[in-house]
Structure 1
Amino acid sequence: MPLVEAIREAIIGGEFVPNQRLVEADLSTQFDASRASVRSALLELANEGLVERIQNRGARVRAVSLDEAVEISEVRMVLEGLCAAHAAAAVTGVEIRELRAIGASMREAVAEGDLLGYSSLNQELHRRVREIGGQRTASRLLERLRGQNVRHQFRLAMHPGRPAVSLPEHLAIIEAICTHDADAAEAAARKHLRSVIDTLREVDRTGQEPRPR
């Protein structure tokens, strides 16, 4: 795996947390890479918005405020809607069965109270919708935005009662795509992201910092 991708995945996966210092020497040892390669990777990740460079202090994982998380979600609302509409137009029979299987697994995860499993399926669904839609520019932008917003996404996934709210929203997206209804798919994706924004604000008001169980 390329170094920049490995560090990116460590940030997105929560191995490195917001505001954590990223020491070149430590990263060089951890990823068995040269200091120059690490420096280049951190510069690239800074351009993506995942890392910030602090003058005379090196680099750290960039923390994203609530206001920025909301802005990111507003942009996602447009892009996710676009990808869902494209997916509805392009989806094949095999892909329809795959999407319905993901939906069934999401129902099962919610019924069993498996929050982490549901969160993983949530990410898988959004990824497959992007891939089926084939809108590569939107997909690249969404992947970058997902990385920037990862901490808020985790807090959202762990928020009590959230899966019961988001499950029917995801099922509506699946149904619209599987019935080739591009307008309904776009509307369902946008509705889901509006719900995400509302819940982000709610989580921030409660001050909760949930942890996986």
Structure 2
Amino acid sequence: MPNTETAQRHDGTYVTDELRRAITAGELAPNQRLIEADLTEQYEASRGAVRLALANLAAEGLIERIQNRGSRVRAIDLDEALEIVELRAALESICAAKAAERADDAGIARLKAIGERMRNAVEEGDTETYSAGNKELHELILRLSAMKVAPGVVSRLRAQNVRYRIRLARHHNRPTVSLPEHLEIIEAISNHDAPRAAAAMETHLKSVLEATRTYFS
């Protein structure tokens, strides 16, 4: 009887998850072609599983399928990137407020630990560690919100905007600007202050919006 991983490789779950991870980590570049035969070999999966994975990721807006030309990683322009940040600001502000209401002591401790790592990364000029902490912090806030729909929507939006998000987080002076914003979000959630948490998240993402417009225009 096949094990769980083998079954996943044949039903498309494994390939979908692995391709999504590669795209959101920036390992696959915008407009990079995704060739079914290569993916079948790379992931030791069936052709049907690869096709299902490509269909899943096309539905999430991460890839595009072009008639008679196959699939490629979807590239977004600056206008779409800005719109995504605006949508994130609205949704993540709600999630931050819910996290402030619902976070337990263990969740708050994790938030503070991430904040401390981000602070140390800024002091050491380590943009890679700061970028990783940034991603981890936003993902944890979504989990702590315990909302059913918003976290999935936000995660898909962040994935679509990965090229701009990663480049911005690694910009040489961006961490020094965004660190106080992140620490304010952490403090508000830790104090169970929902209005303050929502305002802090909105302020942070409006700052991201303006920085994205400035750096990439």
* Aligned twin of 1:153: 165
Which AA in structure 2 matches 1:188?
A
The CA RMSD measured in Å over matched residues stands at 1.0
1:138 aligns with 2:150: yes
* Aligned twin of 2:135: 123
1:75 aligns with 2:75: no
Q: Identity of aligned pairs, percent? A: 53
Q: 1:13: how far off?
A: 1.6
* Aligned twin of 1:176: 188
1:162 aligns with 2:174: yes
The TM-score with structure 1 as length reference comes to 0.94
Which AA in structure 1 matches 2:211?
T
SS for the counterpart of 1:136 is coil
* Aligned twin of 2:209: 197
1:16 aligns with 2:28: yes
Gaps of 5+ in 2: 6-13
Which AA in structure 2 matches 1:84?
A
* Aligned twin of 1:208: none
Paired with 1:137 and 1:187, the residues of 2 have a C-alpha distance of: 21
Which AA in structure 2 matches 1:191?
T
Equivalent residues of 2:127, 2:172 under 8 A apart: no
Paired with 2:34 and 2:108, the residues of 1 have a C-alpha distance of: 42
Q: 1:102: how far off?
A: 1.4
1:94 aligns with 2:106: yes
| Shift >4 Å, 4+ stretches | none
Paired with 1:41 and 1:174, the residues of 2 have a C-alpha distance of: 36
Question: For this pair of structures, how many residues does the alignment match?
Answer: 205
Gaps of 5+ in 1: 206-213
SS for the counterpart of 1:52 is strand
The TM-score with structure 2 as length reference comes to 0.92
1:32 to 17, 41, 44: 44
Paired with 2:106 and 2:64, the residues of 1 have a C-alpha distance of: 42
Paired with 1:98 and 1:158, the residues of 2 have a C-alpha distance of: 23
